[in-house]
Amino acid sequence: MQRLTMEIAPRASAHAMRCFSCALVVLLLAHHGSAQNTPLISGGGAFFTSTNGGNTNYYPITEPVLAAPLGQHILVESRAALIETFSPMGGSRPGYNHSHFIGETYLQSDFLVSPRLTIVAGHYLIPFDTYNERLSPPWIGNFQDGPLISPLGLLQGGSGLGGMLRGNAFASNKYSIGYAYFYSTRRNADQFAAHRGTGGRASLYLPGQGLELGLSYDRLLQGTHENFYGGYGWWTPPDTGLRVRSEFARGHHAQGGWLEVDYRLKAFGGYESAIGRIEPLFRMQQTFRRDTIVSDGLPLVNTQRADFGIDYHLPHSIRILSSYARQFSSAGNRNIWETGIAYRFLFPVWKGNEP
């Protein structure tokens, strides 16, 4: 399951307790604010299954998200992951292996300096292309697993530790230009692990056309220094139910891309009708090796994969996911069947007082 790339650490529970303590301090500080500063807990839960080569794995997942405003210019954000994995024993033995992961994905403070600039400090998601920041939560992505190229450009972990500048350099009714620049220091520990690196992303958004185009670059500054390049395009025509998304990434050892199309059948009675809740999906992926050094998380041979799926949107932010994929490579072709159900929640930590 490509989305679950986090390594299970032996002291993950201690890590979770430290993060919980940090979150508790933030909530206590926020409790003295006004009604507009009431912290929110959102996120989602999911139960996924993946059948590959006749073996079925099961993944119960919970990922809560905290957003706690501290006054008018500071926002503390955090996301945690609680993942259980059940996989067959193998070797004709009955039963399942079980493993679990508990830890934070990011914990950051956002300082809203101006409408054009936000300063981010802490443990944040690397802003390379779009999947890592926008589509990786299980209640958002159309498919339960991420693209084959998703490890590229994430500095071997997906999160950075340090600072980031981001915002819109220019914005109007016709277009806006966004940017993000980060520097991450190195930390070899169970808590807030990160690699040293720097990079950023620039984007152009045309709201009238529902079109966004962007370029990404970052550089790993420890061990063997490597450059990563990326580009993406999102097209969401207004009032159509159609979304087209694509990414390309190139690293020192491999490169590849993906194209994903989904369409809500809103033409048949609107989004809330029985047919309008259906969302057919298609994703095409390709990866190409530049060498065979194992350091980037991509397949070791050139690989093509086609994913077909149907999501069904139930009331109360519940979504049923189902997909079939056929993967082609010189290492062997295979079928991948995936099903799941995901739920998104949102509620205030406490009821705010009237100002």
- Above pLDDT 90, what percent of the chain? 74
**Pairing verdict, β 318-329 and 334-348:** antiparallel
- CA nearest 226: which of 258, 204, 201, 255? 255
pLDDT mean over 55-80: 94
**pLDDT tens string 308-319:** 999 999 999 999
Tell me how crowded residue 42 is: count the other CB atoms within 10 A of its CB.
16
**pLDDT tens string 147-182:** 999 999 999 889 999 999 999 999 999 999 999 999
Q: Which residue would you say has higher pLDDT here, 355 or 71?
A: 71
Tokens found for residue 261: 């199309």
- CA nearest 48: which of 36, 40, 38, 56? 56
**pLDDT tens string 279-293:** 999 999 999 999 988
**pLDDT tens string 226-269:** 999 999 999 999 989 999 999 999 999 999 999 999 999 998 99
How many residues does this entry show for the chain?
A: 355
What does the radius of gyration of the chain's CA atoms come to, in whole angstroms?
A: 21
pLDDT for 141 beyond 80: yes
Confidence of residue 94 (pLDDT cuts 50, 70, 90): confident
Can you tell me the distance from the alpha carbon of 16 to that of 188, in angstroms, rounded to the nearest whole number?
17
3-class secondary structure, 220: strand
**Bridge partners, residue 338, by sequence:** 50, 323
What pLDDT, on the 0 to 100 scale, is given for residue 337? 96
Mean pLDDT is lowest, of 83-87, 191-195, 314-318, 337-341, for 191-195
Residue 231 near residue 214, CB atoms below 8 Å: yes
Can you tell me the distance from the alpha carbon of 111 to that of 116, in angstroms, rounded to the nearest whole number?
12
Confidence of residue 24 (pLDDT cuts 50, 70, 90): low
**pLDDT tens string 219-237:** 999 988 999 999 999 999 9
Residue 308 near residue 324, CB atoms below 8 Å: yes
pLDDT for 26 beyond 80: no
Mean pLDDT is lowest, of 5-9, 15-19, 168-172, for 5-9
Residue 32 near residue 353, CB atoms below 8 Å: no
CATH number for domain 12-348, candidates 3.40.50.300, 3.30.70.580, 3.40.50.720, 2.40.160.10: 2.40.160.10
